[in-house]
Chains A and B, each alone.
Chain A
Amino acid sequence: GQQLNQSPQSMFIQEGEDVSMNCTSSSIFNTWLWYKQDPGEGPVLLIALYKAGELTSNGRLTAQFGITRKDSFLNISASIPSDVGIYFCAAVDYKLSFGAGTTVTVRA
C-alpha cells in the first residue's frame, strides 16, 4: 500500500488565491517529487527535491523538502483556471511511491 499521506484530498479555490498542500510519511525519503495529472493524461513532473530543507520554485509553484525528510509541501501562488487538476506527491526509496492526490478545482 501507499506510505504517503497527502492532504487535503480536494480543494476549491478562488482564482488569484494562494493554496498549499502537503504530504507526510512515517518513513524517511531521499527524494520528494510533485506531479500534476490532467484528465486522461499521465502525471507530469512539476518539481523535484533532492536535499532536506531544499526550497525549489517552478514559476508560481514552490515546494519544500522537509528537514526531517518525512514530509514535503507544495504551494501554488495566484491560482489560475489552468491549475485545475490532481496534484500528487511522490517519494523515492527503492521505488517511486505516490500519495493519493489532491484534486484542485478553481472557481473563476
Chain B
Amino acid sequence: EAGVVQSPRYKIIEKKQPVAFWCNPISGHNTLYWYLQNLGQGPELLIRYENEEAVDDSQLPKDRFSAERLKGVDSTLKIQPAELGDSAVYLCASSSPGLNNEQFFGPGTRLTVL
C-alpha cells in the first residue's frame, strides 16, 4: 500500500515569490493534516481537513498561507508571498478513524527561501 505522497521534496525560491506543495494521502483516509517543522523542533499543526472541510485552521497564518482539498482527496498548501522565516519542512499526514486515528506522515517538502 502506498504511503502519503508529497511533492516536490525540495524547493528553493526567492523571498516574495509564491510556492505550492502537494499532498496525496493514503487511500481511504478522510482526515488530512498539514504540519510545519522548523529545524530542531517537532511538527506543528497548520490545518486539519475532514474530507473537504477545514475543521481546524486556527494555526494557519491566513495572511499568506492558504490550503485547499477540493475533492476530499489531494490537498495543496500555498504560500504567497514567501518570507525568509518560512524556510522549514512542510509535512502532510493522513489518518482514518478505524486505525485509532493514527497519523501517517509523508516525507515532507523542504522549503528554502533565499
Contacts and interface: CB of A to CB of B under 8 A. Distances in A.
Given A88-B42, A90-B42, A100-B40, A48 B105 contact: no
Interface of A: 2, 4, 40-45, 48, 50, 88, 90, 94-101
Interface of B: 4, 9, 33, 40-45, 48, 56, 91, 93, 100, 102-108
A78 B11 CA distance: 39
Contact of A43 (B43, B48, B56, B100): B43
A4 to B, nearest CB: 8
Dominant SS at the B interface?
Answer: loop
B44 A98 contact: yes
Given A42-B93, A42-B107, A95-B56, A101 B102 contact: no
A41 B9 CA distance: 10
A101 to B, nearest CB: 6
Contacts of B104: 45
A48 B42 contact: no
Nearest to B91: A42
